Amino acid sequence: MNSAETEFIAEKELVSIVPNFNYEVIYLISGDIGPFRAGLPVKVPIWLAMSLKRRQKCRIVPPRWMNVEDLEEVKKQELNERFFTKMPSEHYMVEAHLLLSVAADDIPRCEQIRTILKDIWDIRMSKLRSSVDQIIKTNAIHARLDHLTLMEINSIRPLLPHALDQLFRLQNGRGPSQASGSQAFTQ
């Protein structure tokens, strides 16, 4: 799975917008959206919000957690805890990335928010790196890391699973051979 696919999954998250047009309900396979009334907030998936914003048909309401104070709190917690803390959203990085790129004018103090998010991301990535180090060093058969988001998990794919596959292969070795059965594989 790569970043584009993770982004695609994250785009399904709902965000609040205030449209400047009127439209009736849109019926989609994943659910109904709308109705749209100018000036009244409505929840839509991020992909639709971005498309509308680009055409200047709405104003995006930042998610409840996307403000400097709450994020500072999250960052402090992340620094203090040894393990990963629960993030305000399952796709916090993607949502922030998308919304800040398209609706920077609707989100107050967006540069500061960007910086804090980057700090949180860096802290979590370094925790992840040392966890991975631990996993390999201690021969763990399984490891459990709570509260990791999909984007963070993706950052160690495909290197970690493939590396562990190779380790597993070496561990099992070829074993003692049976007389003629394995000959075909050595030629």
Partner 1 sequence: MFGQKGLELIKELNRTPDVLPPFNDDVIRQVLEEMNALFEQNRMDLDKEKDANYAGVHVRHASLERNRRCLLAYLYNRINKIRQMRWEFGSIIPPEIKYNMCEPEVQWFNNYNKILATYMRGIGNKHGLNLTLDRQPPKELYIEVRCLEDYGEYEMDNGDVVTLRKGNMYLLPRGPCEQLIRQGILQHITD
Partner 2 sequence: METRFKHSYCPNYFSLEDILATQERVLCKVEKSVHGLGCLDQSTENEDLVVGTTLQLPFWLAFPLSQTRVRVVSVELPKIYKEAFREVLTADASIVDLSKLGRYFYEFGSHLTKLNHRDSSAINTMLMNAFKDRLRVLIDWAQNLCTDISKVQRLDTLEKELYLEGFKARKELIAWLSEGSSKMCASEMVVNHKKRKRAVVDI
**Residue of 18, 37, 51, 123 that binds partner 1 (CB under 8 A):** 51
Measured CA to CA, the distance from residue 55 to residue 44 in angstroms comes to 15
Nearer to partner 1, 68 or 150 (CB): 150
For helices 110-137 and 159-172, angle between their N-to-C axes, nearest 10 degrees: 0
Given CA atoms 95, 101, 107, 110 in this order, what sign does their dihedral have?
A: positive
Site for partner 1 contains 187 (CB under 8 A)? yes
Closest-CA residue to 107 (of 68, 57, 56): 68
* Window of 5-13, 57-65, 66-74, 136-144 that interacts with partner 1 by CB under 8 A: 5-13
Of residues 4-43, those binding partner 2 (CB under 8 A): 4-5, 7
Among partner 1, partner 2, none, the one that 12 touches (CB under a kind-dependent 5 to 8 A) is none
Among partner 2, partner 1, none, the one that 160 touches (CB under a kind-dependent 5 to 8 A) is partner 2
Site for partner 1 contains 12 (CB under 8 A)? no
DSSP 48-89: HHHHHHHTT-EEEEPPTT-SHHHHHHHHHHHHH-SSPPPPSS
Q: Which residues bind partner 1 (CB under 8 A)?
A: 4-5, 7-8, 51, 183-184, 187
